[in-house]
Amino acid sequence: MLLLTLRRLSSIFLLMLAVNAWADNVLVIHQNYAGPGVIARLEAAGHTVTGSTSEVYDLSAYDQVWDTRYNSMSGSAVTAYDSFVQGGGFLYLTTENPGCCQGRNNQVAALISSMGGGAGLTIGGSAGYASNNVNTVNTTYMTDLNGASLTFAAVSAIANYGDGQWLMKDYAGKVVSVMWVGNAGNLAEGYTGTVITVADINWIDSTRLTGNNITALDDIINGIVYGTVQGTISAEGNTGGSAAPTPSYSSGITAAQQSRRDGFAGTGAEVNANIEGNNNDVYIQQTGTHYLELGIIGGSNTVNSTQTSTQLGIIHYSEVDIIGDNNTLDILQTGDSDKSAFVSITGDSNTANIIQKDTGSHYLQLDLIGDGHDATILQEGSGNHAATVELENGGGPWIFDLTQSGSTDKEYSLPHSMSDGSTTSGTCYVQAGCSLTIIQND
């Protein structure tokens, strides 16, 4: 659910978008090295998770069940899972390579077949192995890998899956993961839940649950699970899914950022620095003709950059690129005009505080990619405010505050367009609790 509040306070326009958290009860049955990562991603998404290393047969308290084991299921578990999916629950069943666990594979195949998931469903066995180079996903439900790969260890091929929908394939086109959505008619009449199998336990183990594997797991949690529990998933995708807008305010210079500020028109101050490592504390102060280019690869970095005018050619202009987690970035640009900052931070739990102020000509492009961002931006002084902000998350919340003030009247009106023609777009998962506050005044 997206809650939108719009208030006008004399000449102040305030927009707040609050994305309400959603949560349900989840049971994760696991072997220790594969369960904790799934539990962590579910909890990060706001769910209440119960972990168990043994089977549970009364599933009435749960909306989701993740059986991430590779060993055989008891008859009682099979019966409980069948009833659970009939009742609309989400069920995840790990399968494995045929050399390890063909008994488990056969049980899962028989269970899903009995639900109407394909009379000849085969996992491993005569379908054999697939390649560990899993580089294709079903983009109706999952994030495009753009040629990159997920990390697997030893994976079965899946064949004859009836009306099910493949989710992941290897480079040769062999299917390694399938989803059956009751609401989409992939299962027999009376089954309204969803079943997923991925034919490798190791893709969610403690060493491989990173990067694209996290993205794929979060796609299942934040899209497929959400759509199942909410009853919005279909063959066309998660039509009532968890996506809600991320801010993107576009009113700035572009044209390759004005040819990187006209090849840096200044003739004076210039800083170029590249730092690799963790726990860096960087402070840079420039007075006079400015320009800063700073690259940092590492975690727990603190960066403080101050550029003040004292005129001459004015300019300002910063390029900051940080790759890592738990970064704190403070940028202050003050003075008579010009200014601009192009900032990109990739990682998690980043904080950015950016101030551009006085006598106009502000511009900011800020890209925060990852989870748990907190961004505060102030642009003030005699109009010409402009900010392009893109926030992307995979489950952790972002908090975004933008204040633009000056002598030019501003207006924010639905659907997400500003008086200068800028727009908003992007992604935030509903359960993440993202929030956006815009204040524009004179």
Best mean pLDDT range from 9-18, 200-209, 222-231, 262-271:
200-209
Read off the pLDDT band of 247 (50, 70, 90).
Answer: very low
pLDDT at 240 over 60: no
**Structural domains present in the chain:** 2-19+244-441 (no CATH), 25-239 (3.40.50.880)
- How many C-beta atoms lie closer than 10 Å to residue 91's C-beta? 25
370 or 187: whose pLDDT is higher?
187
Instruction: State if pTM tops 0.85.
Output: no
Alpha-carbon gap, residue 206 to 24, rounded angstroms: 24
Place 265 in a pLDDT band, splitting at 50, 70 and 90.
Answer: low
Q: What is the pLDDT of residue 442?
A: 59
Residues 112, 197 contacting (CB under 8 angstroms): yes
Asked whether the bond before 415 is cis by omega within 30 degrees of 0, the reply is yes
- 354 has which bridge partners? 331, 377
Give phi and psi for 370, each to the nearest 5.
135, -160
Query: DSSP characters for 66-123?
Result: EE---SPPPHHHHHHHHHHHHTT-EEEEE---HHHHHHHHHHHHHHHHHTTS-TT-EE
Q: Which pLDDT tens digit goes with each residue over 114-127?
A: 999 999 999 999 99
> Is residue 145 exposed (0-12), middle (13-18) or buried (19+ Cβ within 10 Å)?
middle
- Output the average pLDDT for the chain: 77
Per-residue pLDDT tens over the stretch 59-115: 999 999 999 999 999 999 999 999 999 999 999 999 999 999 999 999 999 999 999
The per-residue pLDDT for 420 is 35
Mean pLDDT of 312-319: 74
- In whole angstroms, what is the distance from residue 103 CA to residue 97 CA? 10
Over residues 244-264, the mean pLDDT reads 49
- Position 418 pLDDT exceeds 60: no
Greater confidence (89 vs 46) lies with: 89
Q: Would you place residue 7 in the very low, low, confident or very high pLDDT band (cuts 50, 70, 90)?
A: very low
Instruction: Supply the pLDDT for residue 248.
Output: 40
Strands 90-94 and 194-198: parallel
Which is higher by pLDDT, 139 or 20? 139
pLDDT for the residue 167:
96
Range name among 242-251, 281-290, 346-355 with the lowest pLDDT average: 242-251
Write the pLDDT tens digit of every residue in 428-441. Answer: 544 445 566 666 66
Average pLDDT over residues 348-371: 77
pLDDT band at residue 354 under the 50/70/90 scheme: confident
Q: What percent of the chain has pLDDT over 90?
A: 36
**pLDDT for position 103:** 97
**Model pLDDT, residue 77:** 97
Mean pLDDT of 407-428: 38
Angle CA(7)–CA(22)–CA(395) in degrees, nearest 5? 90
Query: What does the longest C-alpha to C-alpha distance in the chain come to?
Result: 81
What are the pLDDT digits (tens) for 366-401? 777 777 778 888 777 766 656 666 666 555 566 777
Total Cβ atoms within 10 A of residue 282: 15
Which of 198-202, 237-241, 278-282 bottoms out in mean pLDDT, i.e. has the lowest?
237-241
CB atoms within 10 A of CB 405: 20
- Residue 101 has a pLDDT of 95
Is residue 172 predicted with pLDDT exceeding 90?
Answer: yes
